[in-house]
Amino acid sequence: MKAWFPIASLAAGFLIGLLVLSHFNWWVPVEYAPYLSVAALVGLDTAFGGIRAGIEGRFQNDIFVSGFLLNTLLAGFLVWFGKLIGVDFALVSVLVLGGRIFLNLSLIRRYYLNKQALARSQQREENAAALQAPSAALSQKPEVGGSI
Amino acid sequence: MSVFSAAIRHRSFYWQISILCFVLGGLLAAAVYTSYKIAQSGRGFNRAGFDYGGIVASITSDRVEKDSQEIKKLREDKKHLEDIIAKGNDGKEALNTSLQEARVYAGLTEVTGPGVVITLQDSKKQPMIGINPEQYLIHDRDINEVINELRSAGAEAIAVGSQRVVSSTAIRCVGPVAMVNEVKEGAPFVIKAIGDPDTMLSALNISNGVLDNIRRYDPLMARAEKSDSLKLPAFGGNTQMKHARPVKSGSQKKSKNQ
């Protein structure tokens, strides 16, 4: 199962990022902090969207990459434009992306729960079939005998 | 049998998502580290990492050196004046020189010299949500902090707008303007200081220093520039003392009220 790869790479990226940043003492200026948080949100949204598309079987590299880049650009533009006219447009991207993250997470959850339920019901059918097969054979015997 | 109506075809998407998650981890790390750094450099910034011992020792020795020079100079002056008094009526010129020196020091004359010009203005930005809009305005305390920093960096004469800053100067906010020497001064506040331009500029621009605090939310709120030649006005206010009296040099005994 490769499902832990994304989680492991997330942790690795976080740790390496933290090490590099603290080693060189780099940090984003206060004015640009909103852009960074919006970019992180877009990243989360893309990750969940990608997982969902993958388990639905319609994952495509170009859509994945272009979605990430374009969404980042749009969210950054919204933050910038919102600062320009004094309305916090960053809230728009936070709301929409946040909503999508929850939606995608719920669909992913549903998929795995349904898969488990399917597996359980298949198991039950197989068990029932396995139980029925000998009992049918047993119950057929008296019938056969009866007929004789 | 399928979970969703679409056919499940597991293309390899783990790698792509793993790479994205790596980038995302870096972004999150940057966000966390940035917010940590911002919290760390708040107004009560931490002073860890300074070598207090060495600084205090050097300041103290400098101070002792300066003070002893001052004492020496004053003793020479005193001897000079005593000599003149002893000689008789030829003391006018010397007295006048000493008076002029005192007047320059007190800010009662126009002065010129090299220095720095600091411009403080209110931000034109819309305040960010969650931040006090007062942070986007220049207040009396900002001006006072700048003046204090200038003095500690060796400024010899300071003026705010058209008003010279002297020992009796008060700077306070009254509505949208600031009162300097009881005269209204509006934004942008132009503070001129005569002294060593490099020392004063580096003292002002020290990281997390006075100007950095003012520029926290908008870099345009404070600007400092060197100037080769500044002309500061004379103090135009009242110099009458109503309560303070100089101690007569002859009567060293204790006051009767005590």
DSSP string, B212-246: HHHTSS-GGGEEEEEEEEEEEPPP-S----SS--P
With beta carbons under 8 A apart, name residues in chain A contacting B9. 57
Inspect the interface and report whether the beta carbons of B8 and A57 lie closer than 8 Å.
yes
Contact list in B for residue A8 (CB cut-off 8 A) is 18
3-state SS class at B159: strand
Q: Range with the lowest mean pLDDT among A23-27, A28-32, B93-97, B251-255?
A: B251-255
CA atoms of B138 and B141, how far apart (whole Å) = 8
User: Is the CB of A33 inside 8 Å of chain B's CB atoms?
Assistant: yes
The answer to whether B15 contacts A5, with C-beta atoms less than 8 Å apart, is yes
pLDDT tops 70 at residue B3: no
Q: Which of B11, B21, B38 sits opposite A13 (nearest CB)?
A: B21
Whether A30 and chain B come into contact, CB under 8 Å, resolves to yes
Report ipTM for this prediction: 0.72
CA nearest to B182, candidates B170, B164, B167:
B170
By mean pLDDT, which of A40-54, B1-15, B225-239 is the weakest? B1-15
pLDDT digit string, tens, across residues B38-82: 776 654 334 444 444 555 566 667 777 788 788 888 888 877 877
A83 touches chain B (CB under 8 A): yes
Cβ-nearest to B126 among A36, A55, A86: A86
Per-chain mean pLDDT for chain B:
79
Q: Chains A and B: how many Cβ contacts under 8 Å?
A: 140
Instruction: Provide the shortest C-alpha distance from residue A12 to chain B (in Å).
Output: 7
Q: How far is A117 from chain B (nearest CA, A)?
A: 10
Q: Which two tokens stand for residue A45?
A: 């949204």
Rounded CA separation A46/A100 (Å) = 10
**Got the DSSP string for chain A?**
--THHHHHHHHHHHHHHHHHHHHHT----GGGHHHHHHHHHHHHHHHHHHHHHHHHT---HHHHHHHHHHHHHHHHHHHHHHHHHTS-THHHHHHHHHHHHHHHHHHHHHHHHHHHHHHHHHHHHHHHHHHHHHHHHHHHHHHHHHH-
Chain B closest-CA separation from residue A63 CA (Å) = 12
Q: How confident is the model at residue A70 (pLDDT cuts 50, 70, 90)?
A: very high
Task: Name the percent of chain B lying above pLDDT 90.
Answer: 18
pLDDT of residue B56: 56
Judge whether A40 is closer than 8 Å to chain B, CB to CB.
Answer: yes
Span A15-38, average pLDDT: 85
Task: Give the CA dihedral A69, A71, A76, A78, nearest 10 degrees.
Answer: 150
B35: nearest CA in chain A? A33
With a cut of 50, say whether residue B5 has pLDDT above it: no
Residue A113 CA from chain centroid, whole number: 13
